[in-house]
């Protein structure tokens, strides 16, 4: 491995403001993502929007604190599992409604006593599946792009490593 480029100290000064602002903003971005996810039946939004907002929060974290730090919080394996897990949750809800005696994706069957409650349950679960898949895909694409730079051209100007030492902090083999 080649030595990663050192960030000039002039960039470090600007980054301390970025770090503070990002630290303050990210919890609210994630909270807003959760709100859009689980409030989609009552207000605007739903799984797709929530997934995109949630992924944007983690991407902001990666931009400010470095790709390595983001990978430690949401590892590549988790992202890859999430891709498939969301679709499985969605399709699995359809299979579950068949097991309960309805048609595929007929949420009425999910609650034999109260079909409307079954609908609510079904919508909540499949929207969660959509959110998981969308957030994972966004993060997977970002990881793929950001990780590629390091392989192709390690001496290029650092765009994504916040403190310039991120590559060094990666655990060794």
Asked if 137 is part of the footprint of another protein (rule: CB under 8 A), the reply reads: yes
**What are the angstrom distances between the C-alpha of 44 and each of 40, 49, 56, 141, 153?**
6, 9, 18, 26, 42
Can you read off the two tokens belonging to residue 74? 């949401």
Stretch that binds another protein, among 9-17, 18-26, 149-157 (CB under 8 A): 149-157
Stretch that binds another protein, among 9-17, 19-27, 53-61 (CB under 8 A): 53-61
Stretch that binds another protein, among 9-17, 19-27, 121-129 (CB under 8 A): 121-129
DSSP notation for 133-164: HHHHHHHHHHHHHHHHHHHH-TTSPPSS-SSS
Asked if 52 is part of the footprint of another protein (rule: CB under 8 A), the reply reads: yes
Count other C-beta atoms under 10 Å from residue 45's C-beta. Answer: 20
Q: Are 40 and 50 in contact (CB under 8 A)?
A: yes
User: What is the spatial distance between Cα 111 and Cα 125, in angstroms, rounded to a whole number?
Assistant: 14
Question: Nearest distance from residue 94's CB to another protein, in Å?
Answer: 7
User: What is the spatial distance between Cα 100 and Cα 2, in angstroms, rounded to a whole number?
Assistant: 58
Asked if 73 is part of the footprint of another protein (rule: CB under 8 A), the reply reads: no
Tell me which residue of 19, 23, 137, 127 sits closest to 80, measured CA to CA. Answer: 137
Question: 18, 19, 25, 80: which one contacts another protein (CB under 8 A)?
Answer: 80
Question: 65, 66, 74, 86: which one contacts another protein (CB under 8 A)?
Answer: 86
Question: 22, 66, 90, 166: which one contacts another protein (CB under 8 A)?
Answer: 90
Stretch that binds another protein, among 4-12, 16-24, 79-87 (CB under 8 A): 79-87
User: What is the spatial distance between Cα 118 and Cα 7, in angstroms, rounded to a whole number?
Assistant: 55
Binding site for another protein (CB under 8 A): 36, 40-46, 48-49, 52-53, 55-56, 59, 63, 76, 80, 83-84, 86-87, 90-91, 94, 104-105, 107, 116, 119-120, 122-123, 126-127, 129-130, 133-134, 136-138, 140-142, 144-153, 156-157, 159-160, 173
């Amino acid at each position: 491995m080649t030595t990663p480029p050192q960030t000039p100290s002039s960039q470090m000064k600007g980054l301390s403001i970025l770090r503070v602002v990002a630290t303050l903003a990210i919890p609210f971005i994630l909270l807003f993502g959760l709100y859009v996810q689980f409030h989609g039946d009552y207000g605007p939004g739903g799984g797709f929007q929530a997934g995109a907002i949630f992924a944007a929060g983690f991407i902001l974290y990666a931009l400010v604190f470095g790709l390595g730090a983001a990978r430690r919080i949401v590892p590549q394996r988790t992202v890859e599992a999430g891709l498939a897990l969301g679709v499985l949750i969605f399709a699995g809800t359809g299979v579950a409604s068949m097991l309960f005696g309805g048609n595929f994706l007929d949420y009425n069957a999910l609650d034999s006593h109260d079909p409307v409650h079954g609908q609510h349950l079904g919508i909540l679960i499949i929207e969660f599946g959509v959110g998981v898949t969308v957030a994972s895909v966004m993060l997977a694409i970002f990881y793929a792009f950001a990780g590629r730079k390091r392989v192709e051209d390690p001496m290029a100007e650092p765009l994504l490593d916040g403190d310039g030492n991120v590559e060094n902090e990666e655990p060794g083999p």
